[in-house]
Amino acid sequence: MTNRTPFVGGNWKMNTDATTGNALARALASGLDTSGGVEVAIYPPFVYLSSISQSLAGSDISLGAQDAYHEPSGAFTGEISLDMLKDCGVRSVLTGHSERRHVIGENDTIVNKKTRAVLASGLQVVLCIGETLDQRESGKTDAINEHQTRAGLEGVSRDQLSRVVIAYEPVWAIGTGKTATPEDAQNAHARIRELIATMYDQNAADAIRIIYGGSMKPGNAGELMAMPDIDGGLIGGASLVSDDFLSIIRSSVAQGV
Ligand code: PEP
């Protein structure tokens, strides 16, 4: 039985401003009391990363970015490179978030390029996967998760996998108030873990953190994270309220994932 340290991430999306974002970061930094029993990262908007890095100074909360561009520099107007993110104190990057896939239009090839670039830069990646409502209703959840996991991790080495967290986020559950049942989420996570064993080996599968995202909140976090293959959460809306996010973090430690 592998003891995986739970991972809880807060995806702020396009929310907060300089004042509220820094206030939130400071509230989290001063309220976090987990004695290392959980890994916590927050993903504020790009433009606040540098100042929030100061607000987090001395805390155990890692700074993350919601996206990154895979090229190192050059004529890519509007994009942000991994070196730029590192300059701001970023240690973790989201790839393949459903809003990047389904709202912005990123395909598997782009998600894979970004995932590989993040890993090549030495940072941690949180690779997000998950099915839409139509795909779920036509029984394709596991097939979509398999496809997105294989595509996202193409070319990722066994060594690099230790810096990968997989976030299973059913698209229909993100920001909708609808949550997968703990049993449905557990089934999906168990299949993803089996797939990692097939793609790499059993030790890699036992070690990788697979977290759940989709309307996780203080009221449902405990039962979700009590499931054996759910190793934490990626939290959107509830990560914008410090007491709610801290409560979810405490649930992850209490479950001793
Ligand atoms: C997310 O943004 O990854 C997410 C899970 O959002 P929410 O918690 O609001 O559903």
Atom 4 of ligand 1, residue of closest alpha carbon: 236
Strand, helix or coil for residue 124: strand
Residue 33 has what pLDDT?
85
Residue 36 has what pLDDT?
73
Q: Which portions of the chain are predicted below pLDDT 70?
A: 1-2, 255-257
Residue 1 has what pLDDT?
47
Helix (H), strand (E), coil (C) string for 15-80: CCCHHHHHHHHHHHHHHCCCCCCCEEEEECCHHHHHHHHHHCCCCCEEEEECCCCCCCCCCCCCCC
Answer positive or negative: Cα dihedral of 161, 117, 86, 12: negative
Q: How far is the CA of 81 from the centre of ligand 1 (A)?
A: 24
Element (H, E) at 253: helix 242-255
pTM, two decimals, is 0.97
Strand, helix or coil for residue 216: coil
Strand partners, 95: 127
Catalytic residue from among 97, 106, 131, 146: 97
Strand partners, 128: 167
Please, what are the domains in the chain? Answer: 7-255 (3.20.20.70)
Q: Torsion angle of alpha carbons 133, 41, 236, 257, nearest 10°?
A: 60
Sequential DSSP letters for 152-170: HTTT--TTGGGGEEEEE--
Strand, helix or coil for residue 225: helix
> For residue 173, which atom of ligand 1 is closest to its CA?
10
